[in-house]
């Protein structure tokens, strides 16, 4: 062991997960206005039927719309989309204003342009998990054909893969 064992705390969890490199996604939904946020908690859950999950804080400005949305968008960001990731992570930002490029996709979900891949999912569950909800979505449409390499999040910063 390299250090002292720490008692479970929010800071311990944050410190450990700073060591975990994660892919960067943006989750979107349509309500009275489009909403979205940057997520590093995206997971593939099942292949048949195809399902994903992600976590969202109940204090997030996007949560009221996500709590009611029937469908959500999942966007895998490319390494050159650090600014887009930062925009969707910033509190109080007008995330869908220029320079963000987007269109209305299947099921009325906002779909971001220029991403590596995107999915539209039907929300099948919202599971309480502390101050968050784990959202489970079943894939209904998508496009995996974007070009480039994925954006990663590590040590509190957006990063690119190294060769």
What's 80's domain CATH number?
A: 2.30.110.10
Q: Examine residue 127 and say whether the peptide bond preceding it is cis (omega within 30 degrees of 0).
A: no
> CB neighbours of 140 closer than 8 A, spacing ≥ 6?
71, 106, 107, 120, 121, 122
In a domain, 118, yes or no: yes
Taking only the tens of pLDDT, the chain with its 163 residues reads 567 888 888 888 888 888 778 899 999 999 999 999 999 999 999 999 999 999 999 999 999 999 999 999 999 999 999 999 999 999 888 999 999 999 999 999 999 999 999 999 999 999 999 999 999 999 999 999 999 999 998 888 888 887 6
Domain extent for 116: 25-151
Has residue 8 been placed in a domain?
no
Q: Is residue 3 part of a domain?
A: no
pLDDT at 77: 97
Say how many domains are in the chain. 1
Half-sphere exposure of 114 (CA within 13 A, CB side): 13
5 within some domain: no
The answer to whether residue 15 is domain-embedded is no
pLDDT score at 157:
86
Secondary structure letter of residue 149 according to DSSP? -
Residue 101: per-residue pLDDT: 96
Is 33 inside a domain boundary?
yes
What is the rounded distance in angstroms from the CA atom of residue 11 to the CA atom of residue 69?
31
Q: Give me the pLDDT at residue 1, please.
A: 55
Residue at 104 is within a domain: yes
Q: Let me know if residue 14 belongs to a domain.
A: no
Q: What is the pTM (predicted TM-score) of this model?
A: 0.91
Question: What are the tokens at 44?
Answer: 């593939």
């Amino acid at each position: 062991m390299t250090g002292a064992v720490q008692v479970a705390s929010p800071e311990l969890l944050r410190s450990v997960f700073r060591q975990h490199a994660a892919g960067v996604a943006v989750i979107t939904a349509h309500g009275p206005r489009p909403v979205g946020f940057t997520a590093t908690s995206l997971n593939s859950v099942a292949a048949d039927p195809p399902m994903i999950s992600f976590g969202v804080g109940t204090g997030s400005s996007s949560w009221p719309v996500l709590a009611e949305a029937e469908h959500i968008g999942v966007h895998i960001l490319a390494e050159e989309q650090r600014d887009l990731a930062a925009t969707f992570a910033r509190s109080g930002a007008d995330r869908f204003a220029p320079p963000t490029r987007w269109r209305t996709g299947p099921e009325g979900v906002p779909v971001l342009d220029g991403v590596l891949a995107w999915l539209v999912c039907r929300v099948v569950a919202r599971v309480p998990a502390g101050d968050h909800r784990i959202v489970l979505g079943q894939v209904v449409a998508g496009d995996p054909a974007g070009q480039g390499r994925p954006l990663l999040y590590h040590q509190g910063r957006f990063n690119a893969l190294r060769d």
